[in-house]
Amino acid sequence: MEAFLHYIWARRLWARLIPMGGLRDARIEVIDPGVLNHHAGPDFFGAKIQIDDLLWVGCVEIHHASSQWYQHGHDEDPAYRSVILHVVELDNRAVQHPAGEEMPTCLLMVPETLPQESSLGYVGETMLPCAEGLRQVSEDLCHTWLACLYRARLGRKAGLVEALRHRSSGDWGQALYALFVRYLGFGLNNDAMERLAFRLPLHLLQKHRDQLLQLEALLLGTAGLLGYLPEGERRERCREEFAFLQHKYSLEPLPADTFRRARTRPTNLPEYRLLQLASLLTKVDLLGEDLQRVSTLQALHRLLHHPLDETWCGGKWRGDGGLSLGACASLAINVLLPYRRAWRVAYKELRDEPSPLQLIESLPAEENHVTRLFAEAGLTPRTALESQALLELHEGYCLRDRCPLCPFAERCENTLS
C-alpha cells in the first residue's frame, strides 16, 4: 500500500534507491524527503533531491507501480507538473511529463526486515507510538519542554523573515509584505502566494492603494486567476484594468497551475484570499505602527477585517468577506510575531522586547491533524504556544525518528521498547 511507502520515504528507511531510465547510473541523494501532503496533489512537497551534481527542489510522487501515474490521471492534472521524482516499487511503464520529456524515476527497495504492519500507526497518523507514555508526563515537564519548543520554532520562523529580507535586498517592508501574502495561502498555497509577492512587489501596489479595482486587477491578473472570478461587469472591468497595467509595468502572470484549488473550501480559494488582500491594502498600511504595535487578537481582527466589495459577496462566497478571527490568529502566529522577533534580533532590541510567551499565550490553540493526534494521547493544547510547540515536536522529532532526544522519551520508553 502507498501509505507504507510514504512511511519509508518520509523516514528514509529504504534499503536502496535505484535510478531508472534516463537516470540509470546517476547518483541520487535525498537531502530532504519533503513534507507529506494531506490534500489533493503530489505526495510530498518541498523535497530536495541531489541528482549527480544538480540539486532539484520540488514534489515527489510515490506509487507501487509506475503505470499508476496514468491510471490516477496525473498526466492530465497540472498539479503534478512540479514533480521532480517518481518513486516506485515496480517500474512497469515509462512516464513522461506533459512536455514530452521523461519523468525522473527511481525504484524504492523495501527492507525485508521492516514489517509493514508495525508502521501503519505512524503512516496513517492515527496514533503516536508514545501515546501511553505521554499521559504520564508531569505538568511542569510538559510546560518547560513546550516553551523550549516554541522558542525554537519562533527562531526558525524569524529566520524565514531574514531570508525574505535577503531576497528583498534588505527591504524590511517587502519582506513583511511577502511574509503576509505567503501566509494568506493558509498552508495549501503558501509557496504560490510567496511567488506572487515577488512577482508583484509592494512598492508597485502602493501606487494604487486608493483604487480598489486596480489592486484587484493587479493581484488577480498577475496570479493568473481573473478567469476564476464570478462572471459579471466587475470581472470584465478587472480584465480591462489589468490589460492596461500589465503593459504599463511589463507584468508576467504566473503559470496557470501555480495555485492549488482541488478540495478547497470556497473561502480559502486563492482568488478569494487575493480579493481580501486588495480590500485590506486600501485600508491598512502594512508598514504602519498600528500593525506593528497591535497586542491582542481582538485589536488585530479590528485592524484586518475589511469587507469585500459587495460584487463578490453572495453565492458560494457568503458573509461580508472580511478575514475571520481564526485567520487573524494564524497571521499573528506566522507573520507578526516572527517579524517582530527578526526585527529586534537584527537591531539588538531584545532587552525591551515583551515576552513572546505572553503574546502567543493570549491566542487560542490551533486545531489540525497534529494537535488532534496529541489530544488523543492526552496532551491537548490550551494556547497557540502549546499548539505551535506540538507542531515543532511532531516535525522535528516524531517524523524524524528522534524520539530518544525528546525529554518525553523517559516517560515513553516502555511504549517504544
* pLDDT at 140 (0 to 100): 85
Q: How far apart are CA 225 and CA 234, in angstroms?
A: 14
Q: For 342-354, what is the mean pLDDT?
A: 72
Q: How far apart are CA 301 and CA 332, in angstroms?
A: 10
Do 375 and 387 contact (CB within 8 A), yes or no?
no
Q: For 285-296, what is the mean pLDDT?
A: 84
* pLDDT at 395 (0 to 100): 84
The C-alpha cell 505512524 sits at 122
Q: Is pLDDT above 70 for 125?
A: no
Q: For 255-274, what is the mean pLDDT?
A: 88
* pLDDT at 118 (0 to 100): 47
Residue 386 has which C-alpha cell? 502549546
Q: Is pLDDT above 90 for 133?
A: no
Select the highest-mean-pLDDT range: 9-13, 99-103, 111-115, 227-231. Answer: 227-231
CA–CA–CA angle 240, 245, 246 (5° rounding)? 95
Per the prediction, the chain carries an average pLDDT of 87
Confidence of residue 131 (pLDDT cuts 50, 70, 90): confident
Among 7-11, 213-217, 321-325, the minimum mean pLDDT is found in 7-11
Whole-prediction pTM: 0.77
* pLDDT at 414 (0 to 100): 47
pLDDT digits (tens, 9 = 90+) for 371-381: 998 998 889 99
At residue 103, what is the residue type?
Answer: M
Other C-beta atoms within 10 Å of 140: how many?
8
Q: Is pLDDT above 50 for 124?
A: no
Q: How far apart are CA 216 and CA 228, in angstroms?
A: 13
Residue 59 has which C-alpha cell? 514534489
User: According to the 3-state scheme, what is the secondary structure of 27-81?
Assistant: CEEEEECCEECCCCCCCEEEEEEEECCEEEEEEEEEEEECCHHHHCCHHHCHHHH
Among 19-23, 63-67, 385-389, the minimum mean pLDDT is found in 19-23
Q: Which residues pair with 108 in a beta bridge?
A: 17
* pLDDT at 416 (0 to 100): 43
DSSP E strands: which ranges in 105-248? 105-109
Residue 249 has which C-alpha cell? 509595468
* pLDDT at 350 (0 to 100): 58
Residues whose CB is less than 8 angstroms from the CB of residue 292 and which lie 6 or more positions away in sequence, other chains included: 340
Residue 90 has which C-alpha cell? 515496480
Who wins on pLDDT, 406 or 276? Answer: 276
Do 400 and 125 contact (CB within 8 A), yes or no?
no
The whole-angstrom distance between residue 3's C-alpha and the CA centroid of its chain comes to 21
* pLDDT at 377 (0 to 100): 85
* pLDDT at 357 (0 to 100): 57
Query: What one-character DSSP code corresponds to residue 383?
Result: B
Q: Which residues pair with 106 in a beta bridge?
A: 19, 87
Among 64-68, 153-157, 405-409, 412-416, the minimum mean pLDDT is found in 412-416
The whole-angstrom distance between residue 97's C-alpha and the CA centroid of its chain comes to 25
Q: Closest Cα to residue 176, out of 388, 368, 338?
A: 338
pLDDT digits (tens, 9 = 90+) for 204-257: 999 999 999 999 999 999 999 999 999 999 999 999 999 999 999 999 999 888
* pLDDT at 62 (0 to 100): 94
Do 56 and 31 contact (CB within 8 A), yes or no?
no
DSSP three-state, residue 57: strand
The C-alpha cell 504602519 sits at 288
pLDDT digits (tens, 9 = 90+) for 19-59: 998 888 899 999 999 888 877 788 898 899 999 989 998 89
Q: For 332-346, what is the mean pLDDT?
A: 92
* pLDDT at 355 (0 to 100): 52
Q: For 120-144, what is the mean pLDDT?
A: 69
